[in-house]
Structure 1
Amino acid sequence: MSTSDLLAASPAIPKDGGGPVFAEPWQARVFAMTLAAHEAGLFTWSEWAETLGAELATDPAGTAGYYDHWLAAFERLLGAKDIASEDTLKGLRAAWDSAAKATPTGEPIVLARR
């Protein structure tokens, strides 16, 4: 399935002129990581759509951002497939939060290698 086909199969993605729209760089990154994981055969697009749909269903009022749900679904699928443990994801979130807090406004956030 091509990227265009995947976008067409995901009608809830915020789009502008047919392509996805991202309000923040992290949204584009998690989008790209999801496509790369799918292309690497880590999960099918049907599995992804089901996981994202279940995540979106947890917020029927739409109080969280779309890509917040996208990230949660990606993390859930990584855990379900034993690709990354909850402890690993928790550690990465903590490292990211720490790096973000230590980064001056306008500078790129760099997550140090462990």
Structure 2
Amino acid sequence: MTHDVEKPAPVFEAPWHAQVFALTVHLNETGVFAWSDWAAAFGDTLRQHGTSKSLNGGEDYFVAWLETLERVLQDRALVDAAALARMRGAWEQAYLATPHGAPVKL
């Protein structure tokens, strides 16, 4: 006799959501920033985004999360704006050149 077991819904809508979350937790745990500093910066970003649209905890939420992480790393001089712009451009080109459903690789 088999039992139908429902698979739990994924916690994250997309793999990159989980990855940016895990990276942020790792950076906190390794002392790059205090969680209270992160929470304050993320709260600022959410307030900025919330004035133009509501955030639902999905894609828009994690876009704000990534924006905050980039800003926090720039504020700590761990990455510069030009390097971020180059990386975004490289990811965009890779994304546009990747067949639908295939993983994006740089």
TM above 0.5: yes
Could you tell me how far apart the structure 2 residues matched to 1:46 and 1:109 are?
A: 33
1:36 CA drift (Å): 1.2
Alpha-carbon distance in structure 1 between the residues aligned to 2:103 and 2:23: 18
Please give the residue correspondences for 1:1-114 in structure 2 after superposition, counting only pairs within 5 Å: 21-60=11-50, 61-62=53-54, 65-111=60-106
SS state at 1:65 partner: helix
Give the gaps of 5 or more residues in structure 1.
Answer: 1-16
Paired amino acid for 2:54? G
* C-alpha deviation, 1:47, in angstroms: 0.7
For normalisation by structure 2, the TM-score amounts to 0.80
Secondary structure, counterpart of 2:42 in structure 1: helix
Give the count of matched residue pairs: 93
How far does residue 31 in structure 1 lie from its aligned partner after superposition?
0.7
Identity value in percent: 39
| d(CA) in 1 for partners of 2:86, 2:11 | 28
* Distance in 2 between residues matched to 1:29 and 1:77, nearest whole Å: 17
Uncovered stretches (5+) of structure 2, i.e. residues with no partner: 1-7
Give the corresponding residue for 1:13: none
Quote the Cα distance in structure 2 between the aligned partners of 1:78 and 1:32.
Answer: 15
- Give structure 1 regions of 4+ aligned residues with deviation exceeding 6 angstroms: none
Which is higher, the Rg of structure 1 or of structure 2?
2
